[in-house]
């Protein structure tokens, strides 16, 4: 049984943050019913009273509603209250980041023709219940665990990926050699708390701080082909962005 990591943050708020994360990520899509209180209490190794407080915080955040005798359901029109900013960067930089020689794969699993999560199917412009390929990799740097990466590939693209080939190249580079022209990537970075799976794979406590990166890759026709979730250990990874002066455009903005 996993437990929430020791922290000055109240237990209910740690649980609330993980549940909010699941709603945002689509693990609990709009209209979905949250797991019963006793199941959540067992998962987080906390009391049912703590779970009720955490769910109450979700209610106050406008993400779920309690229905007497039926359970707690994700609202269809909940609004994400996180601050989001968009920046433009080089796709070549993204490919290079995945080819760092110091980063190697410790564990990998490739699953073909498996159901894709509903939120992922939507991001890939596939119908509910669609199947595809899921690539799970735990990566390390200099022998120490660094990140868990889960790629969800469309059926046509996933059929070109094998575990043997992935041992010799990064996924982006492999797709390029297989004739998949990646033309655009949209990436979102946010702080999260590790859920049960992430905590186990990265060997950290449940509720530990991790950096979550969500990425959608599109080919040269504009069609999405890969939906990626990556979780980085907060104690072993830093995300740095360098901003160059945009000449006249920047001058106009700060004038």
Is the torsion defined by CA of 143, 211, 219, 23 positive or negative? positive
SS3 106: strand
pLDDT of residue 4: 57
Rounded-to-integer distance, Cα 159 and Cα 161, Å:
6
Express each pLDDT in 75-101 by its tens digit.
Answer: 998 877 665 566 566 666 655 555 555
Rounded-to-integer distance, Cα 239 and Cα 215, Å:
15
Strands (E), 124-223: 131-141, 144-153, 182-193, 209-219
Residue 151, Cβ density class (10 Å: 0-12 exposed, 13-18 middle, ≥19 buried): buried
Kindly state the helix (H) or strand (E) to which residue 223 belongs, with its residue range.
none
Express each pLDDT in 100-151 by its tens digit.
Answer: 557 788 999 999 999 999 999 999 999 999 999 999 999 998 788 999 999 9
pTM of the model: 0.71
Rounded-to-integer distance, Cα 129 and Cα 117, Å:
8
pLDDT of residue 204: 87
pLDDT of residue 54: 94
pLDDT of residue 98: 56
Mind listing the domains of the chain with CATH numbers? Answer: 11-74 (1.10.10.10), 91-233 (3.40.1410.10)
pLDDT of residue 71: 94
Residues in the chain: 255
The pLDDT confidence band at residue 250, using thresholds 50, 70 and 90, is very low
- Percent of the chain, pLDDT > 90? 49
Mean pLDDT of the chain: 85
| pLDDT of 1 above 60 | no
| pLDDT of 189 above 60 | yes
| pLDDT of 237 above 70 | yes
SS3 206: strand
Q: Which residues contact 234 (CB under 8 A, 6 or more apart)?
A: 191, 208, 209, 210, 211
């Amino acid at each position: 049984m996993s437990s929430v990591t020791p922290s000055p943050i109240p237990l209910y708020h740690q649980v609330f943050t993980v549940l909010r994360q699941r709603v945002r990520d689509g693990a609990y899509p709009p209209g979905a019913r949250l797991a019963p209180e006793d199941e959540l209490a067992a998962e987080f190794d906390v009391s049912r009273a703590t779970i009720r407080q955490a769910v109450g915080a979700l209610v106050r955040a406008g993400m779920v509603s309690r229905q007497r005798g039926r359970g707690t359901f994700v609202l269809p029109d909940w609004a994400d209250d996180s601050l989001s900013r968009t920046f433009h960067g080089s796709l070549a930089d993204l490919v290079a980041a995945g080819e760092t020689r110091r980063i190697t794969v410790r564990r990998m699993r490739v699953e073909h023709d498996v159901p894709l999560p509903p939120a992922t199917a939507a991001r890939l412009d596939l119908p509910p219940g669609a199947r595809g390929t899921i690539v799970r990799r735990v990566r390390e740097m200099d022998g120490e665990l660094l990140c868990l990466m889960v790629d969800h590939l469309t059926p046509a693209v996933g059929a070109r990926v094998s575990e043997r080939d992935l041992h010799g190249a990064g996924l982006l580079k492999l797709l390029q050699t297989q004739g998949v022209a990646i033309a655009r990537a949209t990436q979102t970075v946010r702080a999260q708390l590790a859920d049960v799976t992430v905590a186990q794979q990265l060997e950290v406590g449940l509720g530990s701080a991790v950096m979550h990166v969500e990425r959608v890759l599109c080919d040269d026709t504009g069609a999405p082909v890969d939906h990626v979730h990556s979780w980085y250990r907060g104690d072993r990874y830093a995300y740095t962005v360098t901003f160059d002066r945009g000449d006249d455009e920047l001058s106009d903005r700060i004038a």
